Structure 1
Amino acid sequence: MAPVCFGRYAAPFAYKSLMVVLIALLLLGSGAAALANCPSGCSCNDDTLVVVCQESRLDVLPIALNPSIQRLIIRNNKIKTIDSSMQFYAELQHLDLSQNHLVNIPTKSFSYQRKLQELHLNSNKISSVSNSTFQGLNSLTVLNLKRNLLEELTNGVFATLPRLEELNLGQNRISRIEPTAFAGLSALRILYLDDNQLSSVPTTSFSLLGSLAELHVGLNAFSILPDDAFAGLNRLTVLDLNGAGLFNISENAFRGLPGLRSLNLSGNRLSVVPTSQLSGLTRLEELYIGQNDFITLESNSFHGLKNLKLLEIIGAPQLERIEKGAFEDNVNLETVTFIINKKLSVIEDSTLLGLPKLKHVSLRDNAIVSISETVFIGKELKQLDLSDNPIFCDCQLLWLQELLKDKSNFTQIQCAAPEHMKDKYLKLLTADDLGCVHHDTRQQTIICVVVVASVAMLVTLVLILYRYRKNMQEKLKDYKWNKGRKNLEYHKPISTEEDCIVRGIHPSQYPAPPAHSTGLRPIPVTEL
Structure 2
Amino acid sequence: MSYLMLDQNDIGFINGSLSHIHNLKVLNISANKLQSLSGLFQNMTKLTVLNISDNYVQNVKGDEFYHTNGIEKLDLSRNLLLNIPAKLFVNLEILTELRLDSNNITVISNKAFSKCTKLSHLYLSKNSLENISLLELHSNKLIYLDITNNKLTELPTGYNESTGTCYSYFNLQTLNASRNKIESFQARCFHSLRNLSLSFNNIEHVPVLSHLPKLNQIDLRGNRIVDLEPQNVLCSEESSLRKLDIGDNKIETIATGVFEKCTNLEILLLNNNYLRTMDAQFPVSLKVLHLSRNKFSCECALASFVDYVKLLKTDNITCSVNGNDVDIKSAGIKPCVSNTLLHVLIESLLPFASCLLLAGIISVLIFRYRYEIEVIVFYKWNIRFRCCCRKRKSEPVNHKYDAFVCFAEEDVNYVRSTLVPLLEPKFKLCIYYRDCPVGEDIAEAILDVIESRSSVSIFYAESMGDI
- Alignment TM class, shorter chain as reference: 0.5 to 0.7
C-alpha contact 1:401 1:429 (8 A) present in aligned 2: no
- How far residue 206 of structure 1 moved from its aligned partner, in angstroms, is 0.8
Q: Within 2, Cα distance between the matches of 1:242 and 1:184?
A: 27
- Find out whether 1:121 has 2:23 as its counterpart: no
Is the Cα contact below 8 Å between 1:215 and 1:239 reproduced in 2?
Answer: yes
Instruction: Check the 8 A contact 1:213/1:238 in 2, yes or no.
Output: yes
Partner Cα distance (1:391, 1:247) in 2: 34
Contact 2:231/2:259, CA 8 A, preserved across alignment: no
Kept in 1, the 8 Å contact 2:242–2:267? The answer is yes
- Post-superposition CA distance 1:96-135 (Å, at most 9, x none): 5544323234534385694754x44333222122454485
d(CA) in 1 for partners of 2:247, 2:50: 36
Is 1:403 aligned with 2:308?
Answer: yes
1:296-334 Cα offsets, whole Å, 9 max, x none, are 216x65575555433212333xx1512421752642243
CA contact (8 A) 1:263 1:286 kept: yes
| Aligned equivalent of 2:347 | 452
Q: Provide closer, same or farther for how the CA distance between residues 310 and 303 of structure 1 changes in structure 2, counting only shifts above 3 A.
A: same
Q: 2:173 and 2:306 mapped to 1: Cα distance? A: 37
Name the residue aligned to 2:222.
Answer: 315
> 1:260, 1:284 within 8 Å by CA — same for their partners in 2?
yes
Partner in structure 2 of residue 188 of structure 1? 95
Aligned residues: 365
Q: Does 1:339 align with 2:227?
A: no
Residue in 1 that maps onto 2:266:
359
Q: Which residue of 2 aligns with 1:256?
A: 167
Question: 1:167, CA displacement in angstroms?
Answer: 1.7
Give the match's secondary structure for 1:459: helix
Match of 1:73 in 2: none
What is the alpha-carbon distance in structure 1 between the residues aligned to residue 189 and residue 286 of structure 2? 30
Matched, 1:221 2:221: no
Q: Which amino acid aligns with 1:372?
A: M
Partner of 1:281: 190
| d(CA) in 1 for partners of 2:99, 2:93 | 16
Corresponding letter in the other structure for 1:128? S
Change (3 A) 1:420 1:126: same
Identity %: 20
- Which residue type is aligned with residue 411 of structure 1? D
Label 1:250 to 1:239 Cα distance change in 2 as closer, same or farther (>3 A): closer
Give the CA deviation at 1:149.
0.9
Say if 2:135 is the partner of 1:210: no
For 2:268, what is the secondary structure of its paired residue? strand
SS at match of 2:220: strand
Letter of the 2:347 counterpart: V
Query: Is 1:146 the counterpart of 2:53 in the alignment?
Result: yes
Measure, in 1, the Cα distance between the counterparts of 2:50 and 2:299.
58
Separation in structure 2 between the aligned mates of residue 385 and residue 359 of structure 1, nearest angstrom = 12
Task: Give 1:293's aligned amino acid.
Answer: N
Q: Tell me which of 142, 146, 161 is aligned to 1:236.
A: 142
In the alignment, is the contact (CA less than 8 A) between 2:260 and 2:283 conserved in 1? no
Coordinate RMSD, CA, aligned:
4.1
Cα contact 1:161–1:185 (8 A) shared by 2: yes
The 8 Å contact of residues 297 and 326 in structure 1, kept in 2 or not, is answered as no
Question: Residue 249 of structure 1: CA displacement?
Answer: 5.4
* RCO comparison, higher one (Cα < 8 Å, 6+): 2
Secondary structure at the aligned position of 2:255 is classed as coil
Note if 1:246 corresponds to 2:148. no
Distance 1:352 1:391 in 2: 20
TM-score by length of 1: 0.58
- 2:72–2:95: 8 Å Cα contact kept in structure 1? yes
Q: Does the 8 A contact of 1:154 with 1:177 survive in 2?
A: no
Question: 1: CA distance between counterparts of 2:25 and 2:137?
Answer: 33
The corresponding residue for 2:408 is none
C-alpha distance after superposition, 1:429-465 (max 9, x if no partner):
322xxxx3466x9xx69x9679635643663587589
> Residue 385 of structure 1 corresponds to which residue in structure 2?
290
Matched, 1:291 2:194: no
1:106/1:400 CA distance change after superposition, 3 Å:
farther
Q: Call closer, same or farther: CA 1:369–1:101 in 2, change over 3 Å.
A: same
**Distance 1:450-1:198 versus aligned 2 partners, 3 A rule:** closer
Rounded to whole Å, the distance in 2 between the matches of 1:273 and 1:326 is 19
| CA distance in structure 1 between the aligned counterparts of 2:6 and 2:308, rounded to whole angstroms | 54
> Structure 1 pair 293/461, CA: closer, same or farther in 2 (3 Å)?
closer
Alignment check: 8 A CA contact 1:150 1:172 kept: yes
Q: 1:455 to 1:147 in 2, by over 3 A?
A: same
Amino acid at match of 2:332: T
The yes-or-no answer on 1:171 pairing with 2:66 is no
Could you tell me which residue of structure 1 aligns to residue 396 of structure 2?
A: none
CA distance in 1, matches of 2:176, 2:133: 17
Change in Cα spacing, 1:134 to 1:144, as seen in structure 2 (3 Å) is farther
Q: Which amino acid aligns with 1:123?
A: A
Question: Distance between the aligned counterparts of 1:304 and 1:264, measured in 2?
Answer: 19
Alpha carbons of structure 1 residues 163 and 419: separation in structure 2 relative to 1, 3 Å? farther
Q: Following the alignment from structure 2 to structure 1, what is the Cα–Cα distance between the partners of residues 119 and 353?
A: 77
The residue correspondences of 1:72-91 to structure 2 (distance < 5 A) are 90=1
- Map 1:25-36 to 2 at 5 A: none
Instruction: Quote how far apart the aligned CAs of 1:212 are.
Output: 0.1
Deviation at 1:186, TM superposition (A): 3.2
Q: Per the alignment, do residues 212 and 244 of structure 1 end up closer, same or farther by CA in structure 2, a change over 3 Å counting?
A: same
Answering whether residue 331 of structure 2 is matched by residue 425 of structure 1, we say: no
From the superposition, tell whether residues 420 and 200 of structure 1 become closer, same or farther in structure 2 (CA, over 3 Å).
Answer: closer
* Residue type of the alignment partner of 2:230: G
- In 1, the alpha carbon distance for the partners of 2:118 and 2:34 equals 28
Structure with greater helix share of residues: 1
In 1, Cα distance between equivalents of 2:176 and 2:327: 36
